[in-house]
Amino acid sequence: MQSDVTKKVLRSQKGKVSKRKKEADQALLSGAEILIRSLEDEGVETIFGYPGGQALPIYDALYDSKINHILCRHEQGAAHAADGYARATGKPGVCLATSGPGATNLVTGIATAFMDSVPMVAITGQVPLSLLGRDSFQEADITGITLPITKHSYLVRDTSELAQTVKEAIYIATTGRPGPVLIDVPRDVSSGQAEYRRADKMNLPGYRPVLDADPAQVEEAARAIMKSERPVIYAGGGVVISGAHEELLQLAELLMAPVCNTLTGLGGFPGNHPLSLGMLGMHGTKYANYAVSECDLLIAVGARFDDRVTGDVETFAPEARIIHIDIDPAEIGKNVRVDIPVVGDVKRVLRQLLKSLQPRLNEAWRDKIMAWKKEYPLNYCEKGCLKPQAIIREICRQTEGKARITTEVGQHQMWTAQYYTFTRPRSFITSGGLGTMGFGLPAAIGVQVGCPDELVFDIAGDGSIQMNIQELCTAVNYDLPVNVAILNNGYLGMVRQWQELFYNRRYSQSELLNPDFVKLAEAYGAEGIRVTRPSELAPAIEQAINSSKPVMLDFIVDREENVLPMVPPGGTLNKMLG
């Protein structure tokens, strides 16, 4: 038995030791703590992720952090959720996964963000440096795998580099043309110790995004605009990303020039504006495609002349001089010849440009476009069973075009682009470049996290929704009242449409046997509503909007409805089917 004195001494020694340890702790932090602290200091509020072996130190540091972590049910879901969050808020989306399979599951999400220029930081655990390259358990060369689909990537080799790396990664992801940046953190780097010093300056001699355009180019563009008789503005996702929607509206109204949007550009110009022509390209409106085909000046703003927009590049806008405004010099002249390139941030360039322009109006051109709009509106046969287009129109009517809409990929995505009237930027969130099925539901979760007070709809197909349906549990878990509207036709609709049109109706592997989505929703703890008749449509959507739970709407629609009009792949824009 110890005497009281000994006990006292022991206690005081213990106290000393812990105090000293505490002092040392204040000076030295673990790599994981530095990582999380740096993210906090950069203003990151939410991380979407999924833990695992090599990410454990990071998750341990996250336990004490004020950062809100959303546990998705699949790493791909985490990446898409971070993507949706970033697209809705404009802030960088952060996702976190472990090494090996965790990291490779992020790949589709990273590629999706890369193609649509979304600011994202993906953090992956990695096996310790000493085990790198030895085919260790759950080892994958994720920096190598993601090399072509990231704007930049880091494999951190020293704990003391973490703070600087995080700062640079967020800076690169969010500036210039945004894009995903990957940080691979070996376990010994995250569990090693270093002093935390907030990084203050960047060391990136090779990274200098051009923001202000060359005034001479802007002047030349202005001269071309003032000379043009039949101008058309072709506005892409760059308008939304750079927040140039107001400048775009001013430009269009000043010139009385019609505006057509790309898929990702929808919402960058109010869809209910008389000058709006909706979407152009493969499934664009006829009047948008006619306008592009007959214009004498095409002003491309933050768009990249994707093949789904141009069709055959040789016959694209054949009579037009082309002004191309983009922040990425590599986009200029990549797909089509450009007459007047203007490299710079779209918002700044438009401001510069507006200063040298005077109001203009070519009545004949305006009347021609109005006539096209009247003569060739988007339409479908409303008779008979439930039509997918009618569902989108009804959702648009009830939400007054103000909901945040995400989609998967396929027919439903095109119908949403055609029949939902987007009136504000960042309200349409869809995988445009990569065309990722399974994007919509996790993205909707990210959107709802970023915009908790807004109404979020994921418009889905019965095929796409099953690619990431597990994320319904995430929505239930975090009380995120997202609404999922499944346009259920029992087919991979777009595949079936192409098989009908180009493969002689040989429906190879495109018919689907589906689960009972209502029961499935209920099993996840969400609400499920099935709609089979047009009369049930409006009340069902109302019920979903008013519900505080995630709702899955299973719309049983016309099975063989096609997306029209359609420019066959590689075809000429003004020669459309339907």
Alpha helices in 28-122 (DSSP H): 31-41, 56-62, 75-89, 101-115
Print the SS3 string covering 438-501. Answer: CCHHHHHHHHHHHCCCCCEEEEEECCHHHHCCCHHHHHHHCCCCCEEEEEECCECHHHHHHHHH
Kindly tell me which of 157 and 360 has the beta carbon lying closer to other proteins: 157
Rounded CA-CA distance 540/534 in Å is 10
**CB of 34: closest distance to other proteins in angstroms?**
20
The residue count of the chain comes to 578
Which CB sits closer to other proteins, 330 or 354? 330
Q: Which is nearer to other proteins, 336 or 487 (CB)?
A: 336
Q: Which residue has the tokens 């060739």?
A: 376
Q: Please, what is the minimum distance in Å from the beta carbon of residue 60 to other proteins?
A: 28
In the bound state with other proteins, the residue whose beta carbon lies nearer, of 205 and 359, is 205
Q: How far apart are the first and last CA of the chain?
A: 95
- Is the Cβ of residue 329 or residue 435 nearer to other proteins in the bound state? 329
Nearer to other proteins, 152 or 424 (CB): 152
DSSP 256: T
Instruction: Name the minimum Å distance from CB 13 to other proteins.
Output: 46
CB of 360 to other proteins, least distance (A): 33
Instruction: Look at strands 193-195 and 28-30 and give their pairing.
Output: antiparallel
DSSP state of 243: T
Where do contacts with other proteins occur on this chain (CB under 8 A)?
143-144, 147-148, 151-153, 155, 157, 172, 204-207, 328-330, 332-334
Nearer to other proteins among residue 65 and residue 335 (C-beta): 335
Name which of 199 and 369 has its Cβ closer to other proteins.
199
Least gap, CB of 295 to other proteins (angstroms): 25
Q: How far is the CB of 287 from other proteins (least distance, A)?
A: 33
How are beta strands 404-407 and 120-126 bridged, if at all?
unpaired
Give the gyration radius of the chain's Cα atoms.
Answer: 26
In the complex, minimum distance from the CB of residue 205 to other proteins, in angstroms, rounded to a whole number: 5
Spatial contact of 230 and 299, defined as CB atoms under 8 Å apart:
no
Rounded to whole angstroms, the Cα distance separating 571 from 569 reads: 5
Neighbours of 231 (CB within 10 A): 27
Pairwise CA distance, residues 126 & 418, whole Å: 44
Cis peptide before 565 (omega within 30 of 0): yes
Q: How far is the CB of 123 from other proteins (least distance, A)?
A: 18
Report d(CA 352, CA 356) in Å as an integer.
7
Nearer to other proteins, 149 or 444 (CB): 149
Using CA atoms, how far apart are residues 467 and 458, in angstroms rounded to an integer? 14
Question: What's the closest the beta carbon of residue 326 comes to other proteins, in angstroms?
Answer: 11
Rounded Cα distance, 163 and 171, in Å = 12
